[in-house]
Amino acid sequence: MSASVIDGKHFAEGLRARIAEHVKRLKSAHDITPGLAVVIVGHDSASQIYVANKAKQTAEVGMASFKHELPVDVPEQELLDLIEQLNTNDRVHGILVQMPLPDHIDPNKVINAISPAKDVDCFTPANVGKLTIGLPGPVSCTPLGCLMLLRDHLGTLSGLDAVIVGRSNLVGKPMAQLLLRDNCTVTMAHSRTRDLPEVVRRADIVIAAVGRPQMIRGDWIKPGAVVIDVGINRIPAPERGEGKTRLVGDVDYVPATQSAGAITPVPGGVGPMTIACLLANTVTTASLINGLVPPS
């Protein structure tokens, strides 16, 4: 069997086009321009590229984009004060603070300072709680992107066995909530799970969010399973020349394609969905802040 490839890049393009339509409607019918503020501390080059990409895509869908760059040694209180200003700024509907933060800043303090109404990453305890009990609000971006790809590929997920490898607050835990909502039977695996290969072999849906290159082997995948690879890992690629690297996921891709029914590639799978879902969340928060029903 050779798996079909789930093209996240293509799906994300379509999603951004739909978001642009919602933005147009919010502007014309309600005079609202959704605005996303991104705060970056320091000059980490990967974060800079990621933030530049977010700003570009925000502008492309017609939203307002606000970028705040702070020096790496900015006092914690100064960052908290900026967040408070953004909380009360009517033009800002989403606030994203790029992680990781320098060691002298407590990320929990920063997350808790963000108004839940503008928490487009769905990091605040209030929004995590809403997600858990199924109230409307922003949904963690990467898991939301995975869910969209799964629904698009499978239609209904009801009754399927889903195994999530990784239990982070960023990916694994919110992913479990979303799959439960869609009536999957969810298993969460982690570093203490016994006999991980056997656990993964039960799954109709495998979500790999571990951060270990190609750890999930091809022969762990049940024939026909749908595999969503969240991992982004850079490994040496001497075949491309000295010192060259390439990106791989947490799944050993080529062998996995022999048994999976469908699989996301890395790059070009989940990655492009994350930013698109951030924009979708900004439309959601802009709608809710203004007493409107967010687009489904």
Annotated binding site for NADP(+): 166-168, 232
Options 35, 94, 137, 172; binder of ligand NDP; rule CB under 6 A: 172
- Report, in Å, the least distance between residue 266 CB and ligand NDP: 8
Burial class (CB in 10 A: 0-12, 13-18, 19+), 37: buried
122 belongs to the binding site for ligand NDP (CB under 6 A): no
256 belongs to the binding site for ligand NDP (CB under 6 A): no
94 belongs to the binding site for ligand NDP (CB under 6 A): no
34 belongs to the binding site for ligand NDP (CB under 6 A): no
Chain residues 188-227 in contact with ligand NDP, contact rule CB under 6 A: 189-193, 196, 209-212
Rounded to a whole number of angstroms, the CA Rg of the chain reads 19
233 belongs to the binding site for ligand NDP (CB under 6 A): yes
CA distances 78 to 70, 72, 74, Å, are 9, 12, 7
3-state helix, strand, coil in the chain (%, to 5): 45, 15, 40
DSSP secondary structure string for all residues of 91-118? T--EEEEPSPPPTTS-HHHHHHHS-GGG
Kindly provide the b/e burial profile for residues 195-222, where b requires at least 16 CB atoms within 10 angstroms of the residue's own CB.
ebeebbbebbbbbbbbeebbbbebebbb
61 belongs to the binding site for ligand NDP (CB under 6 A): no
Options 57, 98, 124, 274; binder of ligand NDP; rule CB under 6 A: 274
32 belongs to the binding site for ligand NDP (CB under 6 A): no
Which residues are catalytically annotated?
A: 54, 98, 121
Question: What are the residues binding ligand NDP (CB under 6 A)?
Answer: 142, 165-168, 170-172, 189-193, 196, 209-212, 230-233, 270-271, 274
